[in-house]
Structure 1
C-alpha cells in the first residue's frame, strides 16, 4: 500500500473566480472513483475574499475567494505577485506537488505557472511543475485578455509540460481554451457538450482521463526512482 500511495500524483487544485476550494472539491469529486483514487488532490482557497457578487450564490455556500483582481476589460491586473507568493509558500510548506489542476480563473493561473517558472519569474523555491489539468481555461494575452507583468513571457514559446485540457462546447471561454491548448506541446484534450463547468466524465472522456493519469504516474515514478 505504501508503494501504491507514493505513485499517486499530488495535485494542487485552484478554484474558479469567486468560488472556493471546497466548491471545486465537490465538483471534482463527482468524477468516477477510478479517477479519484489514483490522485492525491489538495484544494486551496484563493488569497483574497471575493470583492463582489459570486455567480454561484444560492447554489454553493460562501465564503468565496479570488486569486487576483483585474479591471473590467481584463487588461490590467492587481495582486498577481501576491497571489504567486501565496501559492509558492503553500506548495513549499505542503508539498512537494507534482502537478496543478485549475478551473476558470484557477486555470488561467495554472496554465501560466510552468512558463513563469521556466523563465525564472515565479515559483523558484519549489520543484518543477510536471503536468497541468486545465478546465475552462484561457491564456493571458489571448483573444480578450491582457497579461500581468510577471506572466509576460510565460507563453513566449510552446509550453513543454504534459497538459490535459477540458473544453466545453457551450463554454463562453471555448475559443480562448482552444488558443490556450495551442500554446502547449502535445496537449491531450477532452471535449464535453456543456458550458462553463466541471463536467462529469462519460464513457468517451473517461479513457482519455485515465490514459493521461497513467502517463503522468509513469513519469513521476521514473523521476522518483532517479532521486
Structure 2
C-alpha cells in the first residue's frame, strides 16, 4: 500500500517522518510512505522548536472557508500529481484536513480519494463552504480556548482571535453523509483535543471505524506495547478491508 502522510500544525514532513518511524518500521515491507509539506509558515508546535529545525508549517492560517478550500486544492493537486494513494496517515491538523476532504467527497457523492484513513489525535475538520457546517464554537463548545491556541498565533489579540474563530466552520455529526471508508482513530486520553477526536469518530460510519484510546497526550505513540497494538490494528484493518 502507498500511504500519503500529513503532518500536524507547527511541524513539517521531516518531523512527521521521524515521529512516525517507530510505528512505520513495524509495518510489512509492502507498504510505502510519502510525506507532504503544508504551505503556510507558522510558529513551531510546543516542544518542537528546540528539537527539530524549521520550517514550521500549517495547512491553513486561520481556518476560514477560503483557506480550507485552498488547502483542499493543494492536497488534491498533490494526490493527482504523485498518487494514487491507497491510504492516508495523518496527525492533528493534518488528520483534520484529511477528514475534511473525505467528508466533502462524501457530500458530493464522489469516490473517496483513499481506501483507508488512519487519524492520530485529530482536531475538528473545518469546512471549505460555510453551509456544510456550523460555527466552530458550536461544535466544540467549552473547548474553544484550546482552538485559539491551535489555530492562531499568540501574537494576536483576543479580539483578533475571536474574529478569526467566527470565520471557521466545522462539520456537524448531525445530518451529514459520513466517511464511508475504513478509519482508525488513535486518541490520547490526556490530549486536550480528545473531544475533537471523538467528534471525528462520529463523522465516520461506525461499522467501518476502529478506535484505539491510550493514556498519552497530543502525540504519536512512542511506547513499544502501544506501537505494537497500533500496528496490529492497522495491518488487520488493511487485510479485512481487502485492500
Length-normalised TM-score, structure 2: 0.73
Match of 1:31 among 16, 20, 23: 23
The CA RMSD measured in Å over matched residues stands at 2.8
Q: Is the 8 A contact 1:190 1:205 kept in 2?
A: no
Aligned position for 1:133 = 118
SS of the residue 1:79 aligns to:
helix
Deviations 1:184-205 (A, max 9, x none): 1231111221111001254356
Q: Which segments of 5 or more consecutive residues in structure 1 lack a partner in the other structure?
A: 1-8, 222-227
Give the superposition deviation at 1:153. 7.8
Task: Return 84-93 or 192-201, whichever deviates more.
Answer: 192-201
Q: TM-score, normalised by structure 1?
A: 0.77
Larger % of helix: which? 2
Q: Give the secondary-structure state (helix, strand or coil) at the position aligned to 2:8.
A: coil
Match of 1:18 among 10, 22, 27: 10
How far 1:78 sits from its partner (Å)?
4.9
Question: In 2, Cα distance between the equivalents of 1:133 and 1:62?
Answer: 26
Asked if the contact 1:69/1:78 (under 8 Å) is kept, the reply is no
- 2:190 corresponds in structure 1 to 170
Name the structure, 1 or 2, with higher relative contact order (CA <8 Å, separation 6+).
Answer: 2
Quote the Cα distance in structure 1 between the aligned partners of 2:204 and 2:71: 23
Count of residue pairs the alignment pairs up: 204
| Structure 1 contact 68–77 (Cα < 8 Å) conserved | no
Q: Given the superposition, is the C-alpha separation of residues 153 and 195 from structure 1 closer, same or farther in structure 2, using an over 3 Å criterion?
A: closer
In the superposition, relative to structure 1, how do residues 116 and 91 fare at CA in structure 2: closer, same or farther (>3 Å)? same
Distance 1:34 1:54 in 2: 26
